[in-house]
């Protein structure tokens, strides 16, 4: 009983080391954290994020932005690219998806508004 209580508290506090059940997602989270620790890569990620945001839901803008975004992903490295691609098939309400999203949100928080 005490162990579940402690685990529950740890989850609520949102520790910085969120582990995923799927090793691919765990590797993705580590890749995102590595980008977060490198100011030059954070700048590239923020440019990528801005390009995706500017494209929005407009299909023609999305098509034009794809090559640009792919270029940014390549600059962020193969680990980031594998991690980025690992999140595509996750069930929306799964713990792995929640951990994946939390890691990306933490990275997004490094970008200027």
Reading the block at residue 34, the tokens are: 């590595």
How many beta carbons lie within 10 A of that of residue 42, not counting itself?
16
pLDDT one-digit tens code per residue, 7-18: 333 343 344 445
Q: Report residues of the chain scoring pLDDT below 50.
A: 1-17
pLDDT of residue 44: 97
The domain limits of the chain are 23-108
Look at residue 19 in the predicted model and tell me its pLDDT.
55
């Amino acid at each position: 009983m005490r162990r579940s209580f402690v685990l529950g508290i740890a989850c609520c506090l949102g520790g910085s080391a969120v582990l995923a059940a799927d090793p691919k997602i765990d590797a993705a989270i580590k890749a995102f954290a590595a980008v977060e620790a490198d100011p030059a890569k954070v700048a590239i990620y923020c440019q990528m994020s801005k390009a995706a945001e500017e494209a929005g839901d407009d299909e023609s803008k999305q098509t034009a932005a794809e090559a640009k975004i792919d270029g940014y992903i390549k600059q962020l490295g193969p680990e980031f690219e594998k991690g980025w691609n690992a999140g595509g098939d996750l069930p929306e309400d799964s713990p792995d998806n929640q951990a994946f999203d939390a890691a990306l949100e933490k990275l997004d928080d490094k970008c200027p508004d």
